[in-house]
C-alpha cells in the first residue's frame, strides 16, 4: 500500500470508520483510476475532486461513512443514484451481490463502466436516466444510496426499498444546508434518522440535456 493510501486509511479510521470490510475495500480500490490526470496527485487526499459536467468524486470519508451506514451484506441488491466517476459503485460492488447504478450524463456513465471493467468489476449494471425515478423494473432493493442532494425526501425511491431495507440520501434546500438521512423501510412505513452534514451536487429530475442524449 502506498504511503498516500495508508495516510488516507488512517484518516478514515480517525474519522470514525470502524468497519474492517469498508476499510479493506477502500484500501483495495485505486482512487487514482477515477480522477483526471490533472488531479491524480491528489487522488488520496481526503477531499472531493471535480470530474466534469459540474459533478465531483466525493470525499473519501463521506464515501466510507455512507458505505458503513448502509451495512451491506454479501447477498444484497443495491441501487445507486448518481454514478459519477464510478468510484462509489466500485466500493459497493465489492460488498454486495449486485449494484444497479443510474447516471444522468451518458458520457460519465460510459466512462465509469469502462473503469470498472478495467478493474474487473463485473457485478454492476449501468443505466442512463432520471435518478429521481429510480429503477422500478429491478425493485425492490435491499439498499439504496443517493449521491446527490434532494430538496425533499424522494418518495419514488423510498417506494423501491424492500421491507427492512435502508436508504441513505442527502436532503437539504441548498448546498450549505444538507444532511445525510438514513431511511429504514418497515411494514408500517419508514423511519428517518439524521446522520451527518454534507455538501453534494443537487439531485436533478427531468430529461437529459440534449447534448448528452
- Catalytic sites, residue numbers: 58
- Measured from the Cβ of residue 195, the count of other Cβ atoms closer than 10 Å reads 14
- Nearby residues of 68 by Cβ (< 8 Å), 6 or more positions away: 17, 18, 19, 22
Angle at 35 between CA 106 and CA 7, to 5 degrees: 145
CB 67 within 8 A of CB 9: no
Cα–Cα distance for residue pair 45/110, rounded to 1 Å:
25
Q: Which three cell numbers stand for residue 173?
A: 434546500
Cα–Cα distance for residue pair 140/210, rounded to 1 Å:
31
Cα–Cα distance for residue pair 184/192, rounded to 1 Å:
7
Amino acid at each position: 500500500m502506498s504511503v498516500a493510501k495508508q495516510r488516507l486509511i488512517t484518516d478514515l479510521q480517525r474519522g470514525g470508520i470502524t468497519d474492517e470490510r469498508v476499510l479493506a475495500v477502500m484500501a483495495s480500490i485505486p482512487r487514482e483510476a477515477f480522477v483526471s490526470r490533472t488531479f491524480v496527485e491528489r487522488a488520496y487526499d481526503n477531499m472531493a475532486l471535480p470530474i466534469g459536467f459540474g459533478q465531483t468524486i466525493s470525499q473519501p470519508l463521506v464515501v466510507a461513512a455512507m458505505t458503513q451506514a448502509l451495512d451491506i451484506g454479501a447477498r444484497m441488491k443495491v441501487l445507486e443514484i448518481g454514478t459519477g466517476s464510478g468510484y462509489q459503485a466500485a466500493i459497493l460492488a465489492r460488498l454486495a451481490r449486485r449494484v444497479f447504478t443510474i447516471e444522468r450524463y451518458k458520457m460519465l456513465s460510459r466512462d465509469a463502466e469502462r473503469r470498472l471493467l478495467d478493474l474487473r468489476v463485473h457485478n454492476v449494471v449501468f443505466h442512463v436516466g432520471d435518478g429521481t425515478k429510480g429503477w422500478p423494473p429491478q425493485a425492490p432493493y435491499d439498499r439504496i444510496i443517493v449521491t446527490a442532494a434532494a430538496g425533499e425526501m424522494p418518495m419514488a425511491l423510498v417506494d423501491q426499498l424492500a421491507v427492512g431495507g435502508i436508504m441513505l440520501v442527502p436532503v437539504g434546500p441548498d448546498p450549505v444546508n444538507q444532511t445525510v438521512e438514513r431511511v429504514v423501510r418497515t411494514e408500517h412505513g419508514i423511519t428517518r434518522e439524521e446522520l451527518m452534514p454534507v455538501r453534494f451536487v443537487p439531485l436533478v429530475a427531468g430529461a437529459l440535456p440534449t447534448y448528452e442524449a
